[in-house]
Structure 1
């Protein structure tokens, strides 16, 4: 059989009608050859990188008394580096007081509101890099100058704005929201989502990295909405307001490839058979789908500039016109900003007010917060925020970040199993072993920069602009240098560190790779399972 005749069936919903639709829309397999070549390159490169550096550092670690596996991977190690650097930033943080000034204002009709001081360029020597005023004397001087003084409205800008509903979930966004709302780990979300897909057939393919839907799917919306209503009572009122003819920006063929966003299926079932976590996830996914058929959130945003005693003050407020889709989010969807919550009187440029008093607010700078399941996942998907090099940051913004939808949960869990991370309540912290490993590695192995360059090359393979051979050749050359460097030095940061129980290395013959240990980028992970017996196959 000629390969040109092979067609590919892409199934995102395991219910019979959806499978029949997929069979009617077969795509030529040749369209996916560059993607498969790129995935093969990624899988083999991850495997070579992980197996060689893991063996090298594990052997060196034993020379300083660390009897555990020192797994190194292109993805897992930069993730560990993120946590180690965050922990150290917290420990090194020295709080500093900073000051803000509020002007409490009255109109001629005794309508009260407040505005916040905007320091001028002359105040810059007294500010930190984030623009916070560090001089109490300066702030107190502003308070004294404005108290009891007239104030002039310089400008009033009032705009009617619309906020579209959030897009349906991909796996990472579902994991982040479930961690925030229910405290669920990434792995727990993935496992339950997989059960909802395979066992209960209530949601579409859960390992998707897309947040959009194909245009043809819009015709199924009435049936999906009816199924949601049958399966849960949580959205009875919202369903009555849904307009299935509404087409949000979620429907976009250009942003859908192999799989679309995670949404409920048309199946109706007794949700009493679901576990608590499965019900929670189903309702999150259903809510994110329902909001596509509710009106936009509409509001007036008012910004006011005021001058008092030569100083500039600013205030703003929001007035809801149409709550729209935010009714489904309750307090979670409300704006907590203090200024945005206040009600402003009717104001106009040139209007003269009275500054009843100035108020000095003393605050303290806060240390970075330790990572949680939600914020670590968000950091992996938005890793560009943690990169200083502009070119590397640009590349990372165009990629999926560190790991893929299918592998991030496994990578985080691997770091826990290896004893490099630990939980302290909701906080995720690096252990002594995790810190020692990061300190022992060359900096390039602990940063996401290499991932960015790999992704640029792998994308080039997808676009037929780069070759598999060139990518692998460059990788092997770079890897030889990294292994030689590892063999020339000892991981002194691990001296005196004891591997956690159950994390110690087995006999010198090594160990087979396992599905859990060889957590890859996910597209062709089976390659790693064929590793030879005497290897430590810990790729990602």
Structure 2
């Protein structure tokens, strides 16, 4: 009988089979069969992510109402041993292949992703196989890279399945808890609020609901903030260059206190001060740490405005291609093994990134390398596989390069500087100034990090001071205003220093999906990376807060997460954790069924997606804006995604009010993935949104513009449009002047998209000077423009 290797997804399975067979075997309908040097007869098969999941409640015969949601159905608490699992929709064919392979195996190797969820995926599949599967030898592949050499090395050094099964127990406990909490609270809240007239599903979750609380309470803190004025006292040198500001850190909110100190120290008339002390210290700052998943999410959100979901996809793609190590890691450390291969490939990485910096630190530094502290996965680093960066998408290039740069700078020298602190005494009242003088830039030559720029700004240069020196100064009483709390960004929620990490909400691998869920449930919205609650988010917060439900409290979910982590460490059992979940739900659901669901946010929640704009009623839905004209009731839609650009409500409002956007909108993408900009125009006769590129004749400066229109690439020159049919690369030109009429970009678009202008064009002139109008017609075969009257 063969050795059967269970991968998590098709691409992963193909890489395993290719590495073990020495070439890519033939895919025999969901599996590869071949002989390998390590195992002999070998089969590689795979899931398609989650092949098996928990069944919906309607699969339970004892449920009072299986046809529809009913308050009689809750609390829904099937015992753990009674929980039903089933093959995910649309995946039964692959499951049949996997099941047959596993049941006929001599030995099974779990080769799903090396994390909790990977374990859960494998063991959930096992649950729907014959029980005899657990009598077979089961091994575990645990690797951090999909590079061929690492795959082979991993299969040569398999772990026992018992070594990692505690990760399954944690993940499965989390899965069951999330299922029971979600099913019970969602059905109950939805039915209760439907009684109040609120349509749709009101989703609650063990992690998503407390994260919603964080977003609402941040918004509350901003809304309730009242600025206060206060004063600081500063001293400004009069003779020294560069001019120096000495500050006292005391903030005076009480003006009586300020007046007392001013008189006590004679600050209102002081004109001189004495340098009391000078402290000079040599300091250094080590290179930035390597990235964890949360670290790269936070960096990408701040630097490039990438959502955590987008960042996850990019790094997962780069991992699948073999260019990055395993992405779902919460570690910023590597072991000596990774340090050695990074050192051996350092010059290749530097050459790839064109990094011209000295990297003499070739011994492991505990800031980056610690064998004892790397438990499951090491930090996010490049593999030995060097890519062709010209083939990367912009976001792939950005993320790959910064990860490689961090790895390279680990070998660079620290940033060294001289820090000077000077204390100025004015009649017994002390002020302080400090500044840094760079000695050696080290790693900072190539990485002025985002966080550094925010915290340090530029190093302050100080003039030469001596102790006991008397200075002419001017005392300033500076009025300040307290600043309102900062609005949360997605990065500050899911990042390594974010609130979710600080409060222990979710895991690095699940945090971005939680944000995605809150957006799709319409509890929050994100605008330019900033996170705002919706009325529905406020409603959920209000109801869970007023009913004092633990599910709405971040600190409670954090306790649950701590308990789950103990399961993985074998310090707590899955059964103990789930018993607590069952007890909690049993008590709270009964109480909630008999309580009233009143809230001041209920009415606003009913209309949060409906807007009245210039005689139109606009309802925002998942993929479209559904619009009806108030006078006639005529209905139409504007798609949210136009040429890979997400259209906001602000843009829709502009279109309905003004008939067009004021400026060209950037970020559209053609079928060939080329970016372009366009003005959006709303045609109220056809109820369609169109693109307009230029309504005015081009300047005669000779500057060229390039853009794409459907299947054509257009290069605008001084006197002609040079057009290329993308599929055939056939070129032709259209003159910008036709019978005395200047042809604009908008006309060219009309011709290439529709073959004919929508309306007759005015302003043509005959040879005798008479003006006339005509349609322009484009013949796709001859590539000629003609007129039609």
TM-score by length of 1: 0.80
More strand, by proportion? 2
Local SS of the residue matching 1:184: coil
Matches within 5 A, 1:201-350: 201-229=322-350, 232-233=352-353, 235-238=354-357, 241-243=358-360, 245-248=362-365, 249-330=367-448, 332=450, 333-334=452-453, 337=456, 341-348=460-467
Deviation at 1:379, TM superposition (A): 8.3
Say which SS state the counterpart of residue 173 (structure 1) adopts.
Answer: helix
- The verdict on how the C-alpha distance between 1:90 and 1:335 changes in structure 2, with shifts beyond 3 A counting, is closer
Distance 1:355 1:147 in 2: 12
Relative to structure 1, the CA distance from residue 24 to residue 100 in structure 2 (aligned partners, 3 Å threshold; closer, same or farther) is: farther
Aligned to 1:476, the other structure's residue is in SS state: helix
d(CA) in 2 for partners of 1:101, 1:197: 55
**What corresponds to 2:229 in structure 1?**
97
In the superposition, relative to structure 1, how do residues 8 and 141 fare at CA in structure 2: closer, same or farther (>3 Å)? farther
State the shift of 1:89 in Å.
1.2
Aligned equivalent of 2:292: 170
Assess, with a 3 A threshold, how the Cα gap between structure 1 residues 428 and 336 changes in structure 2: closer, same or farther: closer
Match of 1:467 among 548, 558, 573: 573
Please say which of residues 142-151 and 403-412 is displaced more in the overlay.
142-151
Alpha-carbon distance in structure 2 between the residues aligned to 1:291 and 1:425: 30
Post-superposition offset of 1:421: 0.8
The corresponding residue for 1:80 is 212
In structure 2, the partner of 1:187 is 309
Instruction: Tell which deviates more after alignment, 255-264 or 480-489.
Output: 480-489
Secondary structure in 1 aligned to 2:248? strand
SS in 1 for 2:444: helix
Of 485, 508, 513, 1:405 maps to 508
Q: CA deviation at 1:252?
A: 0.9
Whole-angstrom CA distance in 2 between matches of 1:72 and 1:289? 40
The answer on whether the counterparts of 1:102 and 1:116 sit within 8 Å (CA) in structure 2 is: yes
331-340 vs 272-281, which moves further = 331-340
Displacement, 1:305? 2.6
In 1, Cα distance between the equivalents of 2:429 and 2:265?
11
- Which residue does 2:748 correspond to in 1? none
Give how far 1:486 is off: 2.5
- Whether 1:114 aligns to 2:253 is no
Q: 2:210–2:552: 8 Å Cα contact kept in structure 1?
A: yes
Question: Could you list the per-position Cα deviations for residues 169-228 of structure 1 after superposition, in whole angstroms to 9, with x for gaps in the alignment?
Answer: 111110110011101111111111111111x32111111111111111222124442442
Q: Bigger CA drift: 28-37 or 278-287? A: 28-37
Residues 345 and 202 (structure 1), Cα distance of their counterparts in 2 relative to 1, 3 Å cut: same
Match of 1:416 among 519, 522, 541: 519
Tell me whether 1:160 sits opposite 2:282 in the alignment: yes
> Are the structure 2 counterparts of residues 471 and 337 from structure 1 closer, same or farther at C-alpha, using a change threshold of 3 Å?
closer
Change in Cα spacing, 1:202 to 1:412, as seen in structure 2 (3 Å) is same
Corresponding residue SS for 1:329: coil
Q: Report if aligned partners of 2:319, 2:326 keep a CA contact under 8 Å in 1.
A: yes
Structure 1 distance, partners of 2:136, 2:335, is 26
Counterparts of 1:118 and 1:201, CA distance in 2: 52
Which structure: greater helix fraction?
1
Q: Note closer, same or farther for the CA distance 1:155–1:92 as it changes in structure 2 (3 Å cut).
A: same
Measured after TM superposition, the shift of residue 290 of structure 1 is 1.3
Which of 1 and 2 has greater Rg?
A: 2
Q: Find the partner of 1:451 among 542, 557, 570.
A: 557
Q: C-alpha separation between the residues in 2 aligned to 1:460 and 1:480?
A: 24
1:13 aligned counterpart, secondary structure: coil
SS at match of 1:254: coil
Aligned residues between the structures: 473
What is the CA-CA distance between 1:168 and the residue it aligns to? Answer: 1.0
Confirm or deny: 8 A CA contact 2:361 2:413 kept in the other structure: no
1:35 aligns with 2:167: yes
Q: TM-score, normalised by structure 2?
A: 0.56
Question: 1:71 — aligned with what?
Answer: 203
| 1:160–1:46 Cα change, 3 Å | same
Retained in 1: the 8 A contact 2:301–2:491?
Answer: yes
Q: 1:62 to 1:379 in 2, by over 3 A?
A: farther
Q: Give the whole-Å Cα distance in 2 for the aligned partners of 1:485 and 1:154.
A: 68
Secondary structure of the corresponding residue to residue 237 of structure 1: coil
Query: 2:237 touches 2:471 (CA, 8 Å); kept in 1?
Result: yes
Query: Contact conserved, 1:5 with 1:28, CA < 8 A, in 2?
Result: no
Alignment of 1:477-492 (within 5 A): 477-492=583-598
Give the conservation status (yes or no) of the 8 Å contact 2:225–2:484: yes
Q: Which consecutive unaligned segments of at least 5 residues does structure 1 have?
A: 386-395, 505-540
8 Å CA contact 2:332–2:380 kept in 1: the answer is: yes
8 Å CA contact retained: 1:215, 1:252: yes
The question of whether the paired residues in 2 share the 8 Å contact of 1:66 and 1:495 is answered with yes
Which sections of structure 2, spanning at least 5 residues, go unmatched? 1-106, 108-133, 610-619, 624-789
In the superposition, relative to structure 1, how do residues 336 and 258 fare at CA in structure 2: closer, same or farther (>3 Å)?
A: closer
Q: Does 1:358 align with 2:358?
A: no
In the other structure, the counterpart of 2:185 is 53
Q: Is the 8 Å Cα contact of residues 292 and 496 (structure 2) preserved in structure 1?
A: no
Q: Alpha-carbon deviation of 1:127?
A: 4.2
**Structure 1 residues 375-431: Cα deviation after superposition (integer angstroms, max 9, x where no partner):** 22248844476xxxxxxxxxx5xxxx2111211111101111111111334421100
User: Which residue number corresponds to residue 531 of structure 1?
Assistant: none
Which of 495, 510, 517 does residue 602 from structure 2 map onto? 495
> Cα 1:197–1:142, aligned 2, differ >3 Å: closer, same or farther?
farther
Q: Shift in Å at residue 253 of structure 1? A: 1.2
Query: Matches of 1:14 and 1:331 in 2, distance apart?
Result: 30
Contact 1:317/1:341, CA 8 A, preserved across alignment: yes
User: In structure 2, do the counterparts of structure 1 residues 180 and 338 end up closer, same or farther at CA, with 3 Å as the change threshold?
Assistant: closer
